[in-house]
Structure 1
Amino acid sequence: MILFVEEFPAVVPYRAEEITIPADVTPERVPTHIVDYSGIKKEIKLYYLCSPFTVCVCLRVPLILVGNKSDLVEHSSMETVLPIMNKYTEIETCVECSAKNLKNISELFYYAQKAVLHPTGPLYCPEKKEMRSACVRALARIFKVSDLDNDGILNDHELTFFQRTCFNTPLAPQALEDVKNVVRKNLTDGVRDNGLTLKGFLFLHTLFIQRGRHETTWAVLRRFGYDDDLELHQDYLFPLLKIPPDCTTELNHNAYLFLQSVFDKHDKDRDYALSPEELMDLFDVFPYVPWGLDVNSTVCTNDQGWITYQGYLSQWTLTTYLDVQRCLEYLGYLGYSIIAEQESQASAIAVTRDKKHDLQKKQTQRNVFRCHVFGITGSGKTGFLQGFLGRNLVVSCNKKTTLNFDFLSETELSCDIVCLIYDVSNPCSFEYCAQIFKQYFMDSKTPCMLIAAKSDLPETKQQYCMTPLEFCRKHKMPPPQSYTCNTAVAPSKDIFIKLTTMAVYP
């Protein structure tokens, strides 16, 4: 066991044993492991740049330059060292110390910890005297997330919330004014309408870094999920979420409130729909555009083809149900855990109980149900699905699907309700539905409904051993439900209500 004493030994050992300084005695509250090297070339290669300073050749890690034995000289060598620091930008700082009289010893280890925990390199380019592009991108996203009303400035309320979020303490009114005054004096467009602009926000962090307060910028970056490489940490984007078998995932009430606030702040014209420009503005905090153009044909849109509020929430609901990890990632980009003041995005997810329990109790607590639709090409599947969105044949005629199933996987079989669609005008259409039912669903507990699509056309006798009505009676299914999307107005949604009812009460 090594004892720490504030005394200089009469005989200095050739090499000290490895030492760990406990976290509770350091300003940064982290343990520090010290390894002493004797300076022999076999142990570590050193470049002797100027006596008494040395710098390791491994310049990919943060370094501090230490001048030891300052008690033996009466002058400082800092003027000699400055050119070295300018040449090697990895050098975070320089400290002159003396182990004999304990001068700057504590400061040495403080700066060593700071160089590791709050390195300058990822944030700032000394040659150009400006922040690096990765740091600018990260801070720009943080500004966007913190701009709760999306007006391009951080007002006093938003700045106070930001300060409390990152540093657990609010800014006093006078402190807020002092911050804005500093920006005003140095940047003409850093403050607008008494709020901090993005340029002002970036200027402040540049000032922090230039004044050696890297820990301030790093505290902000890490609070918003960034790692040492200024990438969003995987633990931040994908928090642990346990989902037992046969359980599903839904967004809870708080998550919907958050998503509503995100929609509202980007719906600038208040038309309850997101134009392409507004949608791109919403996705500005993402590293990529998460929704393709196909989303406009799968959710509710207005007359201009823009995603409505209902369609927006539907897409989030679908993503949560089908790919909850992707939902967690998206919520992470939007800053859910910060704005909603939750530990992680996992708090936005409700995991439902096993469907077997629902069947036993004959009731469910679920709000989202999965319906799989089967039918041959041309049977009317697309029109039926578009009708759910209120679109008639004129609107949906250019949206076609040509997917048939010769073999159904476990994923394709896993659903809450099965919809079998046949074309009443095609004599070969019903046989496919009958085969699918008998092969995959006849012995399952999944409820099925038969849809007689294109009911506006003359009905043709189906080339099968029994009529659709006889088939339904034999297998204890509801009678075939007539449906058409060839209407002047939006198709009736009664049939979708029946499907949902069957899913809720199988």
Structure 2
Amino acid sequence: METILPIMNQFSEIETCVECSAKNLKNISELFYYAQKAVLHPTAPLYDPEDKQLKAACVRALSRIFYISDQDNDRILSDDELNSFQKSCFGNPLAPQALEDVKTVVWKNTSDGVQDNGLTLNGFLFLNTLFIQRGRHETTWTILRKFGYDDNLELTDDYLYPELRVPVGCSTEINQFGHQFLQRLFDKYDEDKDSALSPAELKNLFCVCPYMPWGADVYLTVPTTELGFISNQGYHCQWMLSAYLDIHRCLEHLGYLGYPILTEQASQTAAITVTREKEVDLEKRQTQRSVFLCKVIGPRGTGKTAFLQSFVDRSVLSKENSSSAFSPYVINRVQISNQEKYLILNEVDVETEFLKASDASCDVACLMYDTSDPSSFDYCASIYKQHYMDSNIPCVLVASKVDLPEAKQFHGMTPAEFCYKHRLPPPLPFSSFLLDSTSKNIYTRLAWAATYPHLNGSDMSSTSFWLRVALGSAVVAVLGFAVYRAVARLK
């Protein structure tokens, strides 16, 4: 001891010294045990022996774990939350007496480690410091690895980016399990229970992420409240958009938020549905998809931005966000045949030419022209002939700025004649200043066209298509009533 202690004091990286003898087989098994422990559960990344406190990276990791485990967002781990945490990490809950003993130790050694009979963040950090000081750093490592951390206290790629195969022609959506998890998160951080997330509440929700996943553009992308806060509907819309556009980034964010741990699933992929190929949908004339992409194409100055913002009940003139934020996307829910669908509108920049056919790919194309600009329709006709005339992608023409005097288009035929010739629905009138039911019905028409692409343009034009939809619903209702009467007579 006289020889070893000065050496251990001088070199803090020495974790353990074992007196042993290969000849006499003294402490050989202990030697290998501590050697393995030094590699599998190293102290160096967790603890600074000179300052006698946890290192900054360890504090960050344990703080994230604390906030994820605090399921009611009261900044305290209750007995139920501690037991849930214990079961998740170690397989079984603590006995009631063991729980009390843990809290007593923390209470005796810290001034603010226990509040309202629960463990605070400082208490949680102290407890892990105590484990390490007593040589039980494998306990802290078990916790860290359960929550996805590697030896450098970074979340592993396997945890953040689980493998998810998405074949060509398929899309990705948040499924019901994902929405249930996200709704629990929303309820947890909606502290004033106004069914909306203020900027402060949104920041708290993402406090477990190393960066803010949603920028200022989110307030232009989804439905918001009158105060400009993200509504519950807007919150789910943004997650759907994230899953559709960038599934790997979406999985990363779900990983930061603790989805696999809190739902006891193998990975975040349990929250995602990969849809079947679009070609199969066309062949079978039906789809199970919930999310559809509409590209809004038209010359500059047509009013595309106003068209997008009107979809989420916002005026471009009165938008709350006065910063330079811009979003080429908006997303909102649409009811189709008593089913809830999500429609994404993507404003296409006319300065950027379509480089390849895939750039024009979408579920429905919205070609918009300005009725007051005589050269406007010519651009839409050109785009249609170049990219959509011979494709399976349905097209809908929108005549914008109908509140202004109509100008005769320079194109060889009128928009109505063009639509008739190419079996497209007649142009739908739109004005951001006259948002009546006719203007708002355009979004439903777009969603219908995306959901039922096998119906050609003439089928969807004017009243014939919608009359058949209504008649179909009536026939189903009559048949249902007849079946009910027959069953009643049998009884």
**Do both proteins adopt the same fold according to a TM-score greater than 0.5, normalized to the shorter chain?**
yes
1:412 & 1:151 partners in 2: Cα distance? 47
1:307 aligns with 2:230: yes
SS in 2 for 1:371: strand
2:225 & 2:149 partners in 1: Cα distance? 38
**Where does 1:150-189 land on structure 2 (aligned, <5 Å)?**
150-189=73-112
1:280 aligns with 2:208: no
Q: Which residue of 2 aligns with 1:88?
A: 11
Which of 181, 191, 197 is 2:114 aligned to? 191
In structure 2, do the counterparts of structure 1 residues 244 and 471 end up closer, same or farther at CA, with 3 Å as the change threshold?
same
1:171 & 1:379 partners in 2: Cα distance? 65
1:265 aligns with 2:188: yes
Q: Which residue of 1 aligns with 2:448?
A: 501
CA-CA distance at 1:202 after TM superposition: 0.1
Which of 344, 354, 361 is 1:407 aligned to? 354
In structure 2, do the counterparts of structure 1 residues 141 and 410 end up closer, same or farther at CA, with 3 Å as the change threshold?
farther
SS in 2 for 1:93: coil
Whether contact under 8 Å (1:391, 1:491) holds in the other structure is no
- Bigger mean CA deviation after superposition, 384-393 or 313-322: 384-393
Question: Which amino acid letter does the alignment assign opposite residue 179 of structure 1?
Answer: V
CA-CA distance at 1:176 after TM superposition: 1.1
1:355 aligns with 2:278: yes
Question: Which amino acid letter does the alignment assign opposite residue 239 of structure 1?
Answer: P
2:382 & 2:9 partners in 1: Cα distance? 78
CA-CA distance at 1:492 after TM superposition: 4.7
Which of 372, 391, 398 is 1:425 aligned to? 372
CA-CA distance at 1:403 after TM superposition: 2.3
Q: Which residue of 2 aligns with 1:366?
A: 289
Question: Which amino acid letter does the alignment assign opposite residue 403 of structure 1?
Answer: D
CA offsets 1:455-495 (integer angstroms, 9 cap, x no match): 12221111100111111111111110011111478995311
SS in 2 for 1:493: helix
- Structure 1 segments, 4+ long, off by >2 Å, are 392-403, 405-412, 487-493
**Where does 1:371-382 land on structure 2 (aligned, <5 Å)?**
371-382=294-305
CA offsets 1:391-412 (integer angstroms, 9 cap, x no match): 2354359787792143344442
Which of 439, 443, 447 is 2:390 aligned to? 443
Q: Which residue of 2 aligns with 1:476?
A: 423
CA offsets 1:82-136 (integer angstroms, 9 cap, x no match): 2211222221200001222222111111111100000000000001000000000
Question: Which amino acid letter does the alignment assign opposite residue 94 of structure 2?
Answer: L
Whether contact under 8 Å (1:430, 1:462) holds in the other structure is yes
1:289 & 1:352 partners in 2: Cα distance? 29
CA-CA distance at 1:163 after TM superposition: 0.3
2:183 & 2:318 partners in 1: Cα distance? 28
Aligned residues: 429
1:434 aligns with 2:381: yes
CA-CA distance at 1:200 after TM superposition: 0.3
**Where does 1:3-18 land on structure 2 (aligned, <5 Å)?**
none
Question: Which amino acid letter does the alignment assign opposite residue 436 of structure 1?
Answer: I
2:221 & 2:144 partners in 1: Cα distance? 36
Q: Which residue of 2 aligns with 1:220?
A: 143
In structure 2, do the counterparts of structure 1 residues 489 and 451 end up closer, same or farther at CA, with 3 Å as the change threshold?
closer
CA offsets 1:377-422 (integer angstroms, 9 cap, x no match): 1101011111110123543597877921433444422210000011
2:117 & 2:437 partners in 1: Cα distance? 49
Q: Which residue of 2 aligns with 1:239?
A: 162
2:361 & 2:210 partners in 1: Cα distance? 33
Question: Which amino acid letter does the alignment assign opposite residue 346 of structure 1?
Answer: T
Whether contact under 8 Å (2:255, 2:268) holds in the other structure is yes
2:319 & 2:408 partners in 1: Cα distance? 27
Which of 122, 128, 136 is 2:45 aligned to? 122
Q: Which residue of 1 aligns with 2:55?
A: 132
Question: Which amino acid letter does the alignment assign opposite residue 3 of structure 2?
Answer: T
Whether contact under 8 Å (2:368, 2:400) holds in the other structure is yes
Unaligned runs of 5+ in 2: 329-347, 454-491
In structure 2, do the counterparts of structure 1 residues 273 and 409 end up closer, same or farther at CA, with 3 Å as the change threshold?
farther
CA offsets 1:177-221 (integer angstroms, 9 cap, x no match): 111111111112111111110000000000000000000000000
CA-CA distance at 1:79 after TM superposition: 2.7
Which of 330, 343, 348 is 2:266 aligned to? 343
SS in 2 for 1:443: coil
- Bigger mean CA deviation after superposition, 82-91 or 105-114: 82-91
Tell which structure's C-alpha radius of gyration is larger: 1
1:429 & 1:369 partners in 2: Cα distance? 27
1:430 & 1:438 partners in 2: Cα distance? 12
2:10 & 2:216 partners in 1: Cα distance? 50
What root-mean-square deviation, in Å, do the aligned CA atoms of Structure 1 and Structure 2 show? 1.7
1:144 aligns with 2:67: yes
1:488 & 1:407 partners in 2: Cα distance? 31
CA offsets 1:275-302 (integer angstroms, 9 cap, x no match): 1111111111111111111111111111
Provide the TM-score with structure 1 as the length reference.
0.82
Whether contact under 8 Å (2:173, 2:240) holds in the other structure is yes
1:450 & 1:488 partners in 2: Cα distance? 17
Which of 242, 246, 260 is 1:319 aligned to? 242
Q: Which residue of 2 aligns with 1:19?
A: none
Provide the TM-score with structure 2 as the length reference.
0.85
Q: Which residue of 1 aligns with 2:331?
A: none
1:292 aligns with 2:292: no
Whether contact under 8 Å (1:392, 1:489) holds in the other structure is no
In structure 2, do the counterparts of structure 1 residues 161 and 320 end up closer, same or farther at CA, with 3 Å as the change threshold?
same
Whether contact under 8 Å (1:238, 1:329) holds in the other structure is yes
Whether contact under 8 Å (1:387, 1:490) holds in the other structure is no
CA-CA distance at 1:435 after TM superposition: 0.6
Whether contact under 8 Å (1:392, 1:487) holds in the other structure is no
Whether contact under 8 Å (1:152, 1:198) holds in the other structure is yes
Whether contact under 8 Å (1:372, 1:412) holds in the other structure is no
2:85 & 2:178 partners in 1: Cα distance? 20
SS in 2 for 1:163: helix
Which of 325, 328, 340 is 2:251 aligned to? 328
1:149 & 1:487 partners in 2: Cα distance? 45
Whether contact under 8 Å (2:70, 2:77) holds in the other structure is yes
1:387 aligns with 2:305: no
SS in 2 for 1:450: strand
Question: Which amino acid letter does the alignment assign opposite residue 88 of structure 1?
Answer: F
Whether contact under 8 Å (2:429, 2:439) holds in the other structure is no
1:112 & 1:410 partners in 2: Cα distance? 60
1:97 aligns with 2:16: no
Q: Which residue of 2 aligns with 1:209?
A: 132
SS in 1 for 2:276: coil
